[in-house]
Amino acid sequence: MEEEVDPGGVACGGEDVAVLPLVAWLLRDRPRDVGAVLYSGTAADDVEPVRAGAARAAVQGLVLAARSRPFWLLAAGFFICGMSTNGLVQPHFIPAAHDHGMPVTTAAGLLAVVGVFDIAGTVFSGWLTDRVDPRVLLLAYYGLRGLSLFALPTLFGPDLHVSMIAFIVFHGLDWLATVPPTLALCREHFGARAPVVFGWVFASHQVGAAVAAFGGGVIRDVTGSYDLAWFLAGGLCLVAAAAAISIRRNLAPPTATALPTDRGEAAAAQAHG
């Protein structure tokens, strides 16, 4: 018996191969490769990374960050961010819409539109982060997301209305808009360790997504509806908004958190822990 070829898999694989020349031609490793400097930084900040002891640097970054309040507030916010996007809307929007009589193909198309607007929203959020207090941006992003999730159960129906399209467009713009201001606050509080710390913050995003993916299904099985899941997610988004605005600014460049850039300094730092 011959196995059928999955057209979707072939298409995805073809797309991956097609972008390889563009990656090789257009992408560079560092800003100085194209004659630029780091955003919100200077040429002096564009140093060679330390390539030894990555695991130890990751653990040390977590230990250092865990001693500070901003880390836990950012991690809590990203935990809720993951719950309300990858964990809830992404896997459960289509079955929830189907519960209300919307065709699966229509619901899947709406979810695809989220991905389109996600790109624009993330880029625009990065532009705003260079000009607006990142805490205020997170307050707006999480707060408005929470309100939109409160309204979502009333928007479902067999027919597609403007109100649902408005939700989809907003949720797409807001989907990853939280990343630039969160990363900016990591850099503000943790300096050169910001990439490592943000990695741990992002890990909480994935944990939150896993919790919501499982919890949303449980709520649907127990109650027969997703309504409680949307309401809980909306309420938690408001908690994330409050957590974000409560983070204190640290406009002075942190000094104790800088990573060594010289190989000798790096080896000495590892030797002394």
Q: Is 78:205 a contact under the CB 8 Å cutoff?
A: yes
pLDDT bin (cut points 50, 70, 90) of residue 98 is very high
Chain length of the chain: 273
What's the mean pLDDT in 126-147? 97
What's the mean pLDDT in 105-118? 95
Reduced to 3 states (helix: H, G, I; strand: E, B; else coil), residue 72 is helix
The predicted structure's pLDDT at residue 180? 96
Look at residue 51 and tell me whether its pLDDT is greater than 70. no
Of residues 250 and 74, which shows the higher confidence score?
74
pLDDT bin (cut points 50, 70, 90) of residue 15 is confident
The predicted structure's pLDDT at residue 80? 98
What is the residue-averaged pLDDT of the chain? 88
pTM above 0.85, yes or no: no
What's the mean pLDDT in 1-7? 67
What's CA 273's distance to the chain center, in Å? 31
Domains of the chain: which residue ranges? Answer: 69-248
Residue 27: which H helix or E strand, with range? none
The candidate with the shortest Cα–Cα distance to 171, out of 148, 194, 204, 199, is: 148
pLDDT bin (cut points 50, 70, 90) of residue 12 is confident
> Based on C-alpha coordinates, what's the Rg of the chain?
21
The predicted structure's pLDDT at residue 241? 98
The predicted structure's pLDDT at residue 265? 44
Task: Tell me the DSSP string of 196-209.
Answer: HHHHHHHHHHHHHH
The predicted structure's pLDDT at residue 260? 45
What is the third-level CATH fold of 69-248? Growth Hormone; Chain: A; (1.20.1250)
> Using one digit for the tens of pLDDT, what is the confidence trace for 217-265?
999 999 999 999 999 999 999 999 999 999 998 876 544 444 444 444 4
